[in-house]
Amino acid sequence: MLTMEEALKQSHKRFASGEIVKGTVIEVRPKEVLVDIGYKSEGVIPGNEFMDLKSVKVGDEIDVLIEKLENKEGTVVLSHEKAEFKKNWDKILTICNEGGIITGKVKAVVKGGLVVNVGVEAFLPSSQIDVITPKNLAGFVGNSYEFKVVKINQERQNIVLSRRELIEAERTEKRNRLLSEMTPGDIRKGTVKNITDFGAFIDLNGLDGLLHITDMSWGRLSHPSEVLKVGQELDVVVLDVNKEKERVSLGLKQKMTNPWDNIESKYPVGQKVKGKVVSLVPYGAFVQLEPGVEGLVHVTELSWTKRIAKPGDVLKQDQEIEAVVLGINRDEQKISLGVRQLESNPWDSAATKYSPGQKVKGQVRNLTSYGAFVELEEGIDGMIHVSDMSWTRKINHPSEVIKKGDVVEAVVLEVDRPNQRIALGLKQLGADPWDNIEKLYKVGDLVSGKVTKLASFGAFVGLQHDIDGLVHISQISEERVDKIKNVLKAGQEVSARVVKIDKGERRIGLSIKAASYTDEQIKEEQKILDALKPGEDLVALQHAFDAADEAVKTE
């Protein structure tokens, strides 16, 4: 009950909606607070208008705004929140106009951002919460931060805040300070912020620096993730500072001694070394001699004799091997290694072991269009060129004479030690019949043999001593012959008269129609053959064989 004195005082007080008055908390309920403002009835304030209802105590004096003097229940409707808003609005306007900073407490998550209590309710968009928009906004509720007032609408009485601008400004200030203080050679603490294929970005407490993959280790790295992970803390060396572009280059390997500094004395040329195969590539194998030092064994340096297509045929990843140092390039950090140098080179003794004129035996290992490769011993082949397979015949392909797998005898013609080649010959096993052709054949001799090839201009006849003679189309019959194949066939036995021998050009001319001629008639035929123009003189065996091959292809 009011005393007479209080009732008299109250009668002089004027209460009206929209006014801000002071009240005393008389009861705190679970969802509302009862406040005495000196009116005839108590006022009610919803509990959600208080940031922390538990902190409100009976007897607390607070400012309230009268919304209604009496509702249906005869209770005064009050608002603490609106009183605070009205009280703080002028203060907020001043801060906003000055671009000021204000402290507030995050009240709730709403669509698009957060509601912040800065004395009045303000809106903080998601994009303005941090430098990177956070995914979990609920984690900010209940926390107090400093904000910058970026926009205010007086008519609607709403405010837009930004925390991001303050963070960016702070980072910019810190970044500028770091750039001005930082010098190459400094060792700084940092945290791995992001990893890419080419390196990692390190957060230096406000400034990002790039640690390139080549500056992570003196050794080989396929990817930065082999030595770093996001969130890892580490000490790095400042290599370069570009203040204009705000770029900092960092190094990790520079904290350790460069193993290449005394590389020539550690691994002199010719020394045997041990290492582990760390990478196999098409052209060779990289071998780690120590952390940060690798050498390359080129595929050609794996064996003196074996033809190795790729290093993976003889080496495996992580295999421990021995090798010999062949060369060092300290500036390019390259070491050339060889495995075959661990053994003697069989080609070193090839020149004395296989001398020109010596007869050798071997198995035909491979045939090509130009010759045959004969294995003389493991890793050493000799080659018989098609031109060295016969004294008298033109060999178009070695398969005409020998086959793969045949064991053949040949004569060493030449040994080329630098290029690791040995030239062999088959025809050199016997004498060249053309050296003594005058003892084997004379003009006028009657000979016999089988037709070996047909051409549009004549037929080749195989004679003794592996010599072919050519019967020109004009020398087949007394009657005119239009097509050779109408009168002769391959494999047919024929008799003919030798009508021409040219030792210099290595050719023999035959005449089937002159087989029964007298000496005088033979001389007449010789005159006819000698009168042929050079282009028509198809007795030249080398050109005749070529023409015969073309004729066979077109028939």
C-alpha–C-alpha distance, residues 245 and 118, integer Å: 38
pLDDT of residue 297: 92
Evaluate whether residue 158 is within a structural domain. no
394, 467 Cβ separation under 8 angstroms: no
C-alpha–C-alpha distance, residues 113 and 536, integer Å: 102
pLDDT of residue 457: 87
Evaluate whether residue 224 is within a structural domain. yes
Antiparallel, parallel or unpaired: β 407-416 and 359-367: antiparallel
Evaluate whether residue 125 is within a structural domain. no
Same domain, 447 and 493: yes
The DSSP 8-state label assigned to residue 263 in this structure reads H
pLDDT digits (tens, 9 = 90+) for 391-423: 887 788 999 889 999 999 999 999 888 888 889
192, 246 Cβ separation under 8 angstroms: no
319, 276 Cβ separation under 8 angstroms: yes
pLDDT of residue 167: 84
Evaluate whether residue 142 is within a structural domain. no
Measuring CA to CA, which residue among 254, 188, 250, 266 is closest to residue 218? 254
Q: Which of 32, 59, 82 lies at the terminal end of a domain, its last residue?
A: 82
Measuring CA to CA, which residue among 340, 328, 333 is closest to residue 300? 340
469, 498 Cβ separation under 8 angstroms: yes
Same domain, 507 and 530: yes
DSSP SS3 for 211: strand
Domain holding 290, by residue range, is 263-324
Residue ranges of the chain with per-residue pLDDT less than 70: 1-14, 95-99, 525-526, 528-555
Number of helical H runs and strand E runs in the chain? 8, 30
Helices (H), 98-218: 164-181
Residue 130 main-chain phi, psi, to 5 deg = -150, 175
Measuring CA to CA, which residue among 330, 319, 441 is closest to residue 392? 441
Same domain, 417 and 524: no
C-alpha–C-alpha distance, residues 412 and 358, integer Å: 5
C-alpha–C-alpha distance, residues 358 and 51, integer Å: 110
Vertex 169: Cα angle to 175 and 204 (nearest 5):
25
Same domain, 446 and 504: yes
Q: CA 20, 24, 27, 31: dihedral to nearest 10 degrees?
A: 30
pLDDT of residue 132: 85
Q: Which of 429, 462, 486 lies at the terminal end of a domain, its last residue?
A: 429
Measuring CA to CA, which residue among 198, 249, 265 is closest to residue 228? 198
Burial of residue 84, with CB atoms counted within 10 A of its CB: 0-12 exposed, 13-18 middle, 19 or more buried: buried
> Count of domains in the chain?
5
379, 306 Cβ separation under 8 angstroms: yes
Q: CA 474, 477, 478, 483: dihedral to nearest 10 degrees?
A: -60
Which pair of structure tokens corresponds to residue 346? 């069989």
CB neighbours of residue 15 within 10 Å: 14
Strands (E), 386-491: 407-416, 421-425, 446-455, 458-462, 468-472
Q: Which of 429, 452, 478 lies at the terminal end of a domain, its last residue?
A: 429
C-alpha–C-alpha distance, residues 43 and 69, integer Å: 8
Evaluate whether residue 338 is within a structural domain. no
Same domain, 223 and 250: yes
C-alpha–C-alpha distance, residues 506 and 538, integer Å: 13
Which pair of structure tokens corresponds to residue 275? 């290492």
Same domain, 438 and 541: yes
CA of 356: how far to CAs of 167, 391, 422, in Å? 87, 19, 9
Evaluate whether residue 112 is within a structural domain. no
CA of 303: how far to CAs of 167, 308, 326, in Å? 65, 8, 14
Say which amino acid occupies 238.
Answer: V
pLDDT digits (tens, 9 = 90+) for 211-243: 999 888 887 788 999 888 998 999 899 888 888
CATH number of the domain bearing residue 299: 2.40.50.140
69, 102 Cβ separation under 8 angstroms: no
Same domain, 242 and 205: yes
Evaluate whether residue 63 is within a structural domain. yes
C-alpha–C-alpha distance, residues 4 and 119, integer Å: 38
Same domain, 359 and 403: yes
Same domain, 53 and 20: yes
Same domain, 422 and 489: no
544, 538 Cβ separation under 8 angstroms: yes
pLDDT of residue 531: 65
Same domain, 72 and 29: yes
Same domain, 350 and 406: yes
Evaluate whether residue 129 is within a structural domain. no
C-alpha–C-alpha distance, residues 410 and 389, integer Å: 10
C-alpha–C-alpha distance, residues 417 and 350, integer Å: 7
H or E element in which residue 548 lies: helix 541-554
pLDDT of residue 277: 92
C-alpha–C-alpha distance, residues 59 and 33, integer Å: 12
Vertex 541: Cα angle to 537 and 542 (nearest 5):
110
127, 133 Cβ separation under 8 angstroms: yes
295 Cα distance to chain centroid:
20
Q: Which residues are CB-neighbours of 21 under 8 A, at least 6 positions away? A: 15, 37, 38, 63, 64, 66
